[in-house]
Homo-oligomer: A and B are copies of this chain.
Amino acid sequence: MPAELIERDAVSRILAAARELFAEHGFDAVSMNAIAEAAGASKANIFHHFKNKDELYLAVLKTACANSCEQIERFGQDEGSFEQRLERYAAEHLNHILDNEQVTRLIQRDLLDNGPRRGRQFAEQVFGQNFGRLVEILREGQLRGELRQDIDPAQVALMIIGTNLTFFQAREVFRHFPDVNFAGSPETYSRMAMDIVLRGIQPHGTRNAEKE
**A binding-site residues for B, Cβ under 8 Å:** 24-29, 105, 108-109, 111-115, 120, 123-124, 127-128, 131-132, 135, 151-159, 161-163, 165-167, 169-170, 172-174, 176-177, 179-182, 189, 192-193, 195-202, 204, 207
Contact = CB atoms under 8 A, between A and B. Distances in A.
A16 B34 CA distance: 32
A177 B114 contact: no
B193 A180 contact: no
A86 to B, nearest CB: 13
Nearest to A176: B124
Contacts of A153: 179
Contact of A192 (B29, B151, B180): B151
Contacts of A154: 174, 177, 179-182
Contact of A165 (B25, B166, B201): B166
A124 B169 contact: no
21 contacts: A26-B112, A28-B29, A105-B112, A108-B112, A111-B169, A124-B176, A127-B173, A127-B174, A152-B182, A154-B180, A155-B182, A155-B189, A155-B196, A159-B163, A159-B166, A159-B193, A161-B166, A162-B165, A162-B167, A196-B201, A198-B200
Nearest to A196: B200
Nearest to A165: B166
A128 B165 CA distance: 17
Contacts of A170: 111, 127, 158, 162
A41 to B, nearest CB: 23
A154 B123 CA distance: 29
